[in-house]
Amino acid sequence: MKIHNKIVPYQEALAAQEVISDKVHRTPIVSSTYLGKLTHTNLYLKLELFQKTGSFKPRGVLNKLHHLDSEYRKKGVISISAGNHAQALAWVAAQLDIPSTIVMPSGSLRSKIEATQGYGGEVILTEDNLLETCLKIQKERDLTLIHPFDDPEIIAGQGTIGIEIIEDLPDVDVVMVGIGGGGLISGIAMTLKEQKPKVRVIGIEPEGASAMSQSLQRGEPVHLERVDTIADGLSAPFAGQLTLAHVQAYVDDVVIVSDQEIVEAMKLILERCKVTAEPAAASTLAALLSGKVSISHGAKVLCVLSGGNIDQKSLKSLL
């Protein structure tokens, strides 16, 4: 069932492009002869890992904060994140002179905490429930909560990636996108399908955090008791109302990959393409290599490499 009233209109992504295009990188799309041979495809990579703060996240946050009234801007914004959303929110807020607070789990990687602080964000570490702690501080300080994915303006911002794909690789056949909470794939699938209905969009989840697959089966957003995956960028413990609606409406298939498959793909990308894809990004190539997606030989396939934020210690342990 398509729930069209929850769908972000294509025009909103176009408008977001106007808002953000001079503040973010237009990330390159490159081809890989080697990986193409390996997967029997014409393989392309969208290097969103070169984006400001090292992931796609600033696109949505820039669009969201652009639309925030000055009254709310003065008071400041807050969110929860162990990683890429934290860095993006801190960085974008600093660009717009908005105070930002990010509640992070006390076990977060020191590199991610320091990066968030380096961009100017106030980091609050907690061992308690993240969301409860965040909501408590939000009330106390009268801040605006910036949801990491289940928000129309965030989804419209991530949709700018789909617009760039259409412009730079107009005859693409298949687009592979990782799914955490689903904000990225919602934006990309919507923009692609509204303009090029024949393009297939495939979502990928790690087996230890498959909230979207389970939500699709149940027909409503599922909350996971626990998540367990090396792909921290895909470890959201629930799907959103909006993101589920977009995936239902626009995504052709969602496949599940193992951590081992992700690590193998990461290593291949590192050695052959000379870029550091974080596990969430490498999940796209992992799905292709796993044979779980049926793709005709020679099809033009694009993997969105959503981010490259992996610290040296984790990388060393995975190699």
143's tokens = 């801040």
Angle between helices 183-195 and 10-20 (to 10 degrees): 110
Which residue in the set 5, 70, 294, 312 belongs to the binding site for a copy of itself (CB under 8 A)? 312
Binding mask 260-299 for a copy of itself (x = CB under 8 A): -------x--xx--xxx-----------------------
Does residue 50 belong to the site contacting a copy of itself (CB under 8 A)?
yes
| Number of residues binding to a copy of itself, judged by CB under 8 A | 19
Count how many Cα atoms sit within 13 Å of the Cα of residue 267 in the half-sphere of its side chain.
10
- CB of 283 vs a copy of itself, minimal distance in Å: 17
Does residue 14 belong to the site contacting a copy of itself (CB under 8 A)?
no
Does residue 28 belong to the site contacting a copy of itself (CB under 8 A)?
yes
Distance CA 116, CA 125 (A): 12
Does residue 3 belong to the site contacting a copy of itself (CB under 8 A)?
no
Sign of the four-CA dihedral 91, 27, 56, 280: negative
Does residue 165 belong to the site contacting a copy of itself (CB under 8 A)?
no
Distance CA 48, CA 28 (A): 8
Contact 301, 39 (CB under 8 A): yes
Does residue 110 belong to the site contacting a copy of itself (CB under 8 A)?
no
Closest CA to 52 of 90, 20, 88: 88
Does residue 109 belong to the site contacting a copy of itself (CB under 8 A)?
no
Residue 294 sits at φ, ψ, to 5 deg, of -90, 115
Residue 28 or residue 298: which is nearer to a copy of itself going by CB?
A: 28
Residue 25 or residue 223: which is nearer to a copy of itself going by CB?
A: 25
- Would you tell me which residues interact with a copy of itself (CB under 8 A)? 28, 30, 49-50, 54, 111, 267, 270-271, 274-276, 308, 311-313, 315-316, 319
